[in-house]
């Protein structure tokens, strides 16, 4: 069984400040991890993914995430928030080795304050 926990359903940051969105996962096998972003009235868009290899993953729009196995975490960061980053962010987990559906977290809504 696998699960995802996103701490904080709402996060507010000032424009130019660091963005940190937290994600912890539970998986009995090595995970595949994803971050998706959802803008209002749109579907989800992939920001970045971790499968194997380098634990620091860079994605689109200046976001990156670090896979920490010892902490079972995959937190999303961006050094400087932009107004256009305001959206809802979903962490998701899957894994290799046969069929396994992707499990999504409940989402974190990011507000950027000018």
Residue 18 is given by DSSP the state P
Least distance to other proteins, CB of residue 17, Å: 25
**Among 93, 63, 66, CA closest to 81:** 63
Phi/psi at 64 (nearest 5 deg)?
-150, 160
Least distance to other proteins, CB of residue 19, Å: 19
Contact 63, 57 (CB under 8 A): no
Chain residues 62-101 in contact with other proteins, contact rule CB under 8 A? 90, 94, 96, 99-101
- Sole binder of other proteins in the list 26, 45, 80, 111 (CB under 8 A): 45
The end-to-end CA distance of the chain, in Å, is 41
Stretch that binds other proteins, among 13-21, 29-37, 70-78, 79-87 (CB under 8 A): 29-37
User: What is the radius of gyration, based on Cα positions, of the chain?
Assistant: 14
Size, binding site for other proteins by CB under 8 A: 22
The footprint of other proteins (CB under 8 A) covers: 9, 32, 34, 36, 41-46, 49, 90, 94, 96, 99-102, 104-107
């Amino acid at each position: 069984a696998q699960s995802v926990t996103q701490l904080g359903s709402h996060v507010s940051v000032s424009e130019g400040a660091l963005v940190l969105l937290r994600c912890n996962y539970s998986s009995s096998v090595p995970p595949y991890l994803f971050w998706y972003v959802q803008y209002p009235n749109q579907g989800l868009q992939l920001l970045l993914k971790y499968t194997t290899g380098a634990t620091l993953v860079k994605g689109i729009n200046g976001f990156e995430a670090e896979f920490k196995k010892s902490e079972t975490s995959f937190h999303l960061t961006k050094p400087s928030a932009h107004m256009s980053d305001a959206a809802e962010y979903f962490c998701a987990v899957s894994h290799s080795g046969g069929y396994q559906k992707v499990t999504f977290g409940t989402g974190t809504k990011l507000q950027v304050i000018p």
